Amino acid sequence: MSIHRHHHTKPSRHTRQRMAPFVAFEVTASSVVIWDILRAKHVRRGHKLGWLLLALVQPIGPWLYFAFGQTRE
């Protein structure tokens, strides 16, 4: 019986460089959503706390808020 150990390797420098813009985009989107929720008087379809938690779910949370939770004044 053999035991296979999986060694987690760090992504290569090239992979990190290619991922950086996507990570920055998602961090920016999440930051904008959190800021918007905190300053909003109310949100559509739910409670502020729920949208704040969903904003942390990457990559779809911020975009769901923009589509369904953000108030349009």
Query: Per-residue pLDDT tens for 8-45?
Result: 788 898 988 999 999 999 999 999 999 999 999 999 99
| Amino acid residing at 2 | S
Residue 2 or residue 46, greater confidence: 46
Residue 2 or residue 9, greater confidence: 9
Nearest 5°: the CA angle 64, 69, 71 is 135
**What pLDDT score does 4 carry?**
67
Query: Do residues 30 and 20 make contact, with C-beta atoms less than 8 angstroms apart?
Result: no
Tokens of residue 47, six digits:
């409670």
- In the predicted model, what is the mean pLDDT of residues 44-65? 92
